Structure 1
Amino acid sequence: MPIRSSGKLFGGVLLLLSSLSLHADDATADAEPGWFNRMTNWVEHELANLGGDGEFNPDDGIDWAAVPGPFATPDSGFGLGVSSVGLFVVDKNDTVSQPSSITMTVFGSSKGNIGIDLDTQIFLQEDRRRLYIWGVAEKVHDVFYGPGIKKGKRNHNKHSFKLDTLVVNSKYLFQMAPAFYVGFGASLGQNNVKGSVDSHHTQPVTSSAFPQDVRTAGATFHAMYDSRDFGLNAKQGRLLQADGGFYNSSADRSHHFQKLALEYREYQAMGPGVLAFQLASEFKFGDVTWDNLTKLGGEDRLRGYTTGRYRGKQMLMSQVEYRHNLPGRHGMVYWLGAGTLGDDVSDLGSEPWIHSVGLGYRYELKPGVNLRADFAWGNGDSGIYVGVNEAF
């Protein structure tokens, strides 16, 4: 998971150095090496030392690539993070399954923000079985403006606080037909508010709307059609998936709610790159606690908005991205996106839509696995996101 500007901005220095490599082909073969070339060679040499050599060797067990760098934001202070990805195969005789992966981000900052995010995708038995595990353990600064787009747009609604988070989600899928899978999973989470900060900017919210210690457990059910060639960075194919769940949250009282998430992705070769499209919705019904509201913003859903600012029970969003391959292991991306929230399904579209536009740089660390650096702009907000893997 990328380290992002909204709480975890990953090394601007690394971004600058990596972007210099775009100039590597400008020099002629017989030219005296200039500072662009020397800097490019140094960056590529250091990334190769950290596993970013553009190759995958299944004999290495887990073949890792790591990208370290500093970050700085007003909420987190100065810090250091490492974003890494490891590719591996469970059975070397399996020529059908795509490589399995572990994506991990570890970070710490001068104001006490620390955490680890982990995302694992394992493909088994010639892709007849799939196991997905995602987890996060963090102590960070967070924000809550209330549910909905309108409340999120009002700066005086800001409630800023310190949050301890521990979440683990898993799902296990069985192949029922070519490219079609069904399965089940589990979700466990705990969120503890440890104290307000920036109180002179905060309009307090009631304890009933903002319980400060919440534990959530859920049973989940899944259906997926997936014809993508590589899940981390598809060049072609389609994804259709439905995820449902029944949840119980224990806070000041018992809360019960249900979730249905629907998503469609399409990837098509176009010119020197790939056109990627995503349409996603999420619907929650029942008594949903604030920490279980669906978020818009962050490194995946509408880059360019502070994570946690926009939350709601119902969500609808879409984004389209063109991934442009450049000579060597370089690339650029350009995207547009839009999304909205609602309290009821019938409310979707009645609240304002927020929009995202941006561009980014890519450097291939492993086959199909990119270092990404994205610059995103939203309605009155912006973000910079650097890490590994694509937004969708």
Structure 2
Amino acid sequence: MKIKYIITTLFCFLYVSGVYSQTDSSEVKGLEKYWNSLVHGNVDRTFEKKLDMSFVVAPCYTREGSLGIGGAATALYRLDRKDSIMQPSDISLSGSASIKGIYAITAKGNNHFKGNKSRLSYRLQFLHKTLDFWGISYNACAVNPISEYTKRQIKWESDYVYKLTKDFHVGVAFNVNYTDLSKITDLAYLSGQEKSYFFTGIGVSLQYDTRDFILNPKRGIYFMAREILYPDFMSTYNRTIFNTTMVFDTYQEVWQGGVLTTDLYGQFYNGQTPWVLREELGSGSSRMRGYYAGRYMDCNQIVAQLELRQHIYSRIGCVAWIGGGTVFPSFKELKLKYILPNYGLGLRIEFKHNVNVRIDYGFGKDTAGFVFQFAEAF
């Protein structure tokens, strides 16, 4: 049944996106317009249009939500259409609803300002999810039977970075997170923590970035170190929380159409972190793909993955990856036996210029599942 849902989703995506992708000729009609948009929908039109946009509505399938309906609009644009060197800015809006009570709306993008000296990256999410639940620590998740909770969340994440040199950037971050549980089967799974929290975080970052295009890099290096402070007076929690994020990604062309990529990711919180901020393995659909989001949860997360991306023909490509990772309460309690495996295969379709739709099937320890998203995993 899962394969059937995915095939249906892919077919509807190809049909609907082909019909509605914008073209540069209003005189093309019917099937001719459909064919033209399929062939030329990935052409960069940002020098001709203020907003080069496409959208799609289609059935969707996720492991957490099962069958549903989803829609997305993505657009590329340039604040300075005379600058041919700077990569285009992007913005996307997506929404979905599933038969298992999961509703989500997400707006995100990367805005490159004139002069190519600064960039604003942002993500806004509204979520309502009814999910399986095992607890808020790795040890609890490893032994507890399946429970259930319904989570509602409003989340804003943003980074403004300024170029110090061609490749080095310094940035400031601002995050807001409100999460509450409207229903939970067993309160003991929260280990005495509250059902709802509000957090505001402010931070700074240092980045080294030589990627040629953020959403689908073919070459370059990306390193980011960020520290975010969640002060107690700006939240509903009685402790100040510190968060450190480290990312190191590389992209190297190994042969014609083939790009070898690596991703090292670490997210670390100080002790006594509330469940709202804790790391969920598989959450976000970029790392540990195939794991049920929240199957393993704890204060910290480390993930490493190696991915080969191969262009096949026209707008079609594929990927294969292997990696591993885990969540853990503290470094002194991090053990090799807790490292979980991850590997899988994926299909790529170029939806807009250099912007892919990805369909991944990931495997892990006693688990497997599909991921359907815009843009590359990293």
8 Å CA contact retained: 1:364, 1:370: yes
Secondary structure of the equivalent of 1:229?
coil
Give the match for residue 304 of structure 1. Answer: 290
136-145 vs 346-355, which moves further: 346-355
Q: Distance in 2 between matches of 1:72 and 1:145?
A: 22
Shift of 1:70: 1.3
Give the match for residue 336 of structure 1. Answer: 322
Q: 1:268 aligns with which of 247, 252, 258?
A: 252
Give the match for residue 147 of structure 2. Answer: 159
With over 3 angstroms needed to count, the CA separation of the structure-2 counterparts of 1:296 and 1:237, relative to structure 1, is: same
Does the alignment pair 1:168 with 2:156? yes
TM-score of the two chains, using structure 2 as the length reference: 0.86
Q: Distance in 2 between matches of 1:378 and 1:74?
A: 14
Shift of 1:18: 7.3
Q: Distance in 1 between matches of 2:300 and 2:289?
A: 19
Give the match for residue 27 of structure 1. Answer: none
Shift of 1:386: 1.4
Highest relative contact order (Cα 8 Å, sep 6+), 1 or 2? 1
Q: 2:130 aligns with which of 112, 123, 141?
A: 141
Shift of 1:75: 6.0
Q: 1:287 aligns with which of 272, 277, 285?
A: 272
Aligned-partner residue type, residue 273 of structure 2: V
TM-score of the two chains, using structure 1 as the length reference: 0.83
Q: Show CA shifts across 1:105-155 (max 9, x none).
A: 211234442221121101113321011111100111134423444433335
With over 3 angstroms needed to count, the CA separation of the structure-2 counterparts of 1:255 and 1:346, relative to structure 1, is: same
Shift of 1:176: 0.6
Give the match for residue 121 of structure 1. Answer: 110
With over 3 angstroms needed to count, the CA separation of the structure-2 counterparts of 1:355 and 1:148, relative to structure 1, is: farther
Give the match for residue 88 of structure 1. Answer: 77
Aligned-partner residue type, residue 304 of structure 1: G
Q: Show CA shifts across 1:222-264 (max 9, x none).
A: 1110001001000000001111111146887523210111110
With over 3 angstroms needed to count, the CA separation of the structure-2 counterparts of 1:52 and 1:284, relative to structure 1, is: farther
Aligned pairs for 1:1-392 within 5 A? 11-15=6-10, 45=34, 48=37, 53-58=41-46, 59-72=48-61, 76=65, 78-154=67-143, 156=145, 158-196=146-184, 199=185, 204-205=187-188, 208-248=191-231, 253-272=237-256, 273-298=258-283, 299-350=285-336, 352-392=338-378
Q: Show CA shifts across 1:37-58 (max 9, x none).
A: xxxxx8x948937x98111211
Q: How many residues align?
A: 356
Gaps of 5+ in 2: 16-30
Q: Distance in 2 between matches of 1:176 and 1:152?
A: 44
252-261 vs 112-121, which moves further: 252-261
With over 3 angstroms needed to count, the CA separation of the structure-2 counterparts of 1:374 and 1:96, relative to structure 1, is: same
With over 3 angstroms needed to count, the CA separation of the structure-2 counterparts of 1:45 and 1:333, relative to structure 1, is: farther
Shift of 1:345: 2.2
Shift of 1:342: 1.7
Shift of 1:19: 9.4
Query: What's the C-alpha RMSD, in Å, of the aligned pairs?
Result: 2.8
Q: Distance in 1 between matches of 2:179 and 2:297?
A: 16
Calculate percent identity across the aligned residue pairs. Answer: 24
With over 3 angstroms needed to count, the CA separation of the structure-2 counterparts of 1:304 and 1:206, relative to structure 1, is: closer
8 Å CA contact retained: 1:219, 1:245: yes
8 Å CA contact retained: 2:64, 2:293: no
Q: Distance in 2 between matches of 1:113 and 1:52?
A: 34
112-121 vs 325-334, which moves further: 112-121
364-373 vs 104-113, which moves further: 104-113
Shift of 1:93: 2.2
